[in-house]
A and B are shown apart, each in its own frame.
Chain A
């Protein structure tokens, strides 16, 4: 079982790297909304695709157009839950 705190740190590092954000991991709260104009990170649908592909390649979990997997991109918390869940990749 992957350590949840470690995973969240990895995810933050991944988001910063993939989306080229000028941030440090500790500047992203676990529950911050990631995508959309309400979110503090100001990421858009293209960033969502970039993160989705990175998640697929690093963790083997598929985030696509369906609502359940799309919801995984809500926050670092939900992304970690999704990766740790038993749902088929």
Chain B
């Protein structure tokens, strides 16, 4: 029976300067997995993200030593430090760990969604066989199931995603909603990408330095304007995201009030990510306007993170269920070939005796004997088959399989040949 081994390093026990020594891109993961699978004569998948690098191996003998050696080899002169941060898991524990990782339960932010895609990429780049194929497919299924059946991934976990979630709270679906960006920095871009991922359109990027604004506008498919053209654009957009490096206010209450007269009651969401603030706080008092600054967004994120932690208990229950299903499948793997061998032996004996008696029976008698002997075999083997499958589910399967193989001499005939 194949043994499953996991050896890895993660953010729980290794700081970033250690983790970055053994972080691998997807091509390197692919190459390492192929190399390990060939060298060890088994199956291999390598998962490497900013928070973990893990080797999943499956072969007939224990592969823990080889897996640990492969990880420490990646660390070069930090091999000793890496060795002390390694964790090593086997079989059911390794499966449970992977399912927790795929569900986002082992991440820095519980329920984060990126990890599921990373697990899928690692699986597709790996060298899986029957065991790792089943393990990773079930891990991906577990990750999807947790996100569907719990609310662990629903609430935003960062300021940009909180801004996008607030936009959905005001407007619902964001398809067709237009966004105005004030500033062209990383914060603006991250928030813009969050909004775009939910269907919004970046209409305009306004920046003090037009060239920088044009760079970002090109990436996002938007137009670029100078900051002094903002007032006219307020009439046509639904969301304003501001993160400039200006020392004073960029948009005043009167500017927004003027735009509201033309907007005919359509709501406007303004997100101010700058410190000092770009947008006049009095804007929030205008009818139909909702202004959130960075402190407001951080408070929302903190609240939703605590909610995610609450959902983790439900997610852990689901993960434990899936791990138990994998354990039952893994345990049954050894029983199935034994049951097949026993049935094959029984059929072989039946065919041989029928062939010997064939000449003395008429066609009708032969068909009748074939039918009766087939039924006898089915009834004789039915209960032992059920009992062996039950034993496999109760983790006694290996013992039962060995006993059956010994009693019936399964495989001995082949070995003699």
A associates with B: no
Give B residues with C-beta under 8 Å from A: none
